Structure 1
Amino acid sequence: MGGEYELNFSCMLKPYKRVLLKLSGEALMGNLGYGIDPGVVEGIAGEIAEVVALGVQVAVVVGGGNIFRGVKASASGMDRATADYIGMIATVMNSLTLQDSLERNGVQTRVQTAIAMQEVAEPYIRRRAIRHLEKGRVVIFGAGSGNPFFTTDTTAALRAAEIDAEVIFKATKVDGVYDADPQLNPNAKRYQSLTYGHVLAQDLRVMDSTAIALCKENNIPILVFDLTVRGNIRRAVIGESIGTLVGGFCEVS
């Protein structure tokens, strides 16, 4: 498991100072079939608050699949661009919900959106976002990239590059990247580390191919880990060996 695709995982383990956390909309849904589970959001907010207390700068990109999926609606006959814009609005709903929970945990938070919604959020301005982070505020990026046909995975890669994040934390419901679906194949093996090339060549679906290409071009590692395990965000930040690390400086040939 690895060979030419393996990385020197140990050389990447370090405490991070500025991270981008990518949350799927489904992560906020918990065990519900739809919508937002307040208890789950509160738990995530509490973990982010613990990380902020360590002095780590945290940005967040949230998906909207718990409320609306543009691709699925498009497949049912809706205009794709319209469907994607509705999905972007869904991400803002999730962003505001997370902001409320973070601020109840004592964390100053700003929501910035790629679509103007000045009554509820700031417009996305790169320099302002960085300044918020430097002041210890969590910045949540809503409304995706503001463009249809691009996923929130791609948005996460784009925003991470723009704010000079050291890593993207891809928080999921599994404990890393496997060579097969672990729910269908009990013999599936989890990768400890991967190159960007392997992810693309094997279509491992860590993030979409555009996001992976952006991360590769800007040398932004991606750490995939299980969000449902309490304390994993903190473990990731302080450099514990969890999940699967994609990319970085230490690829071996």
Structure 2
Amino acid sequence: MPESQSKVTFKRVMLKISGEALMGDQGFGLHPPTVQRIANEVKSVHDLGVEICMVIGGGNIFRGLQGSAQGMERTTADYMGMLATVMNALAMQSALEELGIHTRVISAITMNEVAEPYIRRRAVRHLEKKRVCIFAAGTGNPYFTTDTAATLRANEMACEAIFKGTKVDGVYDKDPAKHADAVRYDDVTYDDVLQKRLGVMDASAIALARDNSLPIIVFSLDEPGGFKGILAGEGTYTRVQG
């Protein structure tokens, strides 16, 4: 057992990141050095003995809601967005396996040649064997976001928290990029997130987390070592809970 594991506050977690997090300074697509940097962050936590699930959005490739806003039929657009998440999951799997971490991409849409189908008991077994599980294709249903998929899978996998990696170090009362006087919360309730529309996750995801008492940790994915630090009880973040 790693010496530092005794300090770790969670044994199994869900890491939710946006597809945009993988495009680095580019305006579109995948930026391999950024994917590798995030994989290194995941490895640093995996090395502590923590079991890790991941859900990655697809907005760097295609966003279903934007597609439907441009006249595409919503269901078709959402399925295209799900396929984008599979591409991102495969990229992250490749980066993690280059670091020697056994990784499984588990898709809610059957595509046996590139990913496993979602079977809850099998996924739990992967986690118990210290494999990273990347859940792709959302819930497999249109009209549901990857935020909701992450919360659903986190509950099914009995994760102790969702870690939402963003570009800022927590939840603010307004956009800190636009308002110099924005105030960061250390703790905020699920109901406040919904009532004040703080934009942590969509309403369905927040409600599902609230109903199952699943805490959400919002932190900066751009801060080197931030993910590992928070697992050890350090760093700057916002905790969303009851």
- TM > 0.5: yes
- Confirm or deny that 1:91 pairs with 2:85: yes
Distance 2:47 2:218 in 1: 23
SS at match of 2:174: coil
SS at match of 2:214: coil
Which amino acid letter does the alignment assign opposite residue 121 of structure 1?
A
Task: Please list, as runs of the form range in 1=range in 2, the aligned pairs for 1:41-60 lying within 5 A after superposition.
Answer: 41-60=35-54
Task: Give the corresponding residue for 2:3.
Answer: none
Q: Is the 8 A contact 1:154 1:208 kept in 2?
A: yes
Which amino acid letter does the alignment assign opposite residue 34 of structure 2?
V
Aligned length: 236
Which amino acid letter does the alignment assign opposite residue 211 of structure 1?
A
Task: Give the corresponding residue for 1:216.
Answer: 210
Give 1:47 deviation, angstroms. 1.2
Task: Please list, as runs of the form range in 1=range in 2, the aligned pairs for 1:115-130 lying within 5 A after superposition.
Answer: 115-130=109-124
Task: Give the corresponding residue for 1:61.
Answer: 55
Give 1:180 deviation, angstroms. 1.1
Give 1:124 deviation, angstroms. 0.7
Distance 1:222 1:39 in 2: 27
Distance 1:41 1:99 in 2: 10
- Confirm or deny that 1:112 pairs with 2:106: yes
Q: Is the 8 A contact 2:226 2:235 kept in 1?
A: no
Which of the numbers 158, 162, 165 marks the counterpart of 1:171? 165
Which of the numbers 25, 28, 51 marks the counterpart of 2:22? 28
Deviation per CA, 1:180-202, whole angstroms, max 9, x where unpaired?
A: 11111101100011011110111
Give 1:75 deviation, angstroms. 0.3
Give 1:241 deviation, angstroms. 4.4
Deviation per CA, 1:42-92, whole angstroms, max 9, x where unpaired?
A: 011111111111100000001000000100010000000000000000000
Give 1:14 deviation, angstroms. 5.9
Task: Give the corresponding residue for 1:19.
Answer: 13
> Relative contact order: is structure 1 or structure 2 higher (C-alpha 8 Å, sep ≥ 6)?
1
Distance 1:174 1:205 in 2: 12
- Confirm or deny that 1:240 pairs with 2:226: no
Q: Is the 8 A contact 1:215 1:221 kept in 2?
A: yes
Which of the numbers 131, 155, 158 marks the counterpart of 1:161? 155
Give 1:246 deviation, angstroms. 0.2
Q: Is the 8 A contact 1:25 1:65 kept in 2?
A: yes
Distance 2:143 2:120 in 1: 22
Which amino acid letter does the alignment assign opposite residue 55 of structure 2?
V
Distance 1:184 1:94 in 2: 29
Distance 1:167 1:135 in 2: 19
Normalised TM-score (structure 1): 0.92
Normalised TM-score (structure 2): 0.96
Q: Is the 8 A contact 1:194 1:244 kept in 2?
A: yes
Q: Structure 1: which 4+ aligned runs deviate by more than 6 Å?
A: none
Deviation per CA, 1:95-137, whole angstroms, max 9, x where unpaired?
A: 0000000000010000000000100110011111110000000
Give 1:243 deviation, angstroms. 1.1
Structure 1 unaligned blocks of 5 or more = 1-12, 249-253
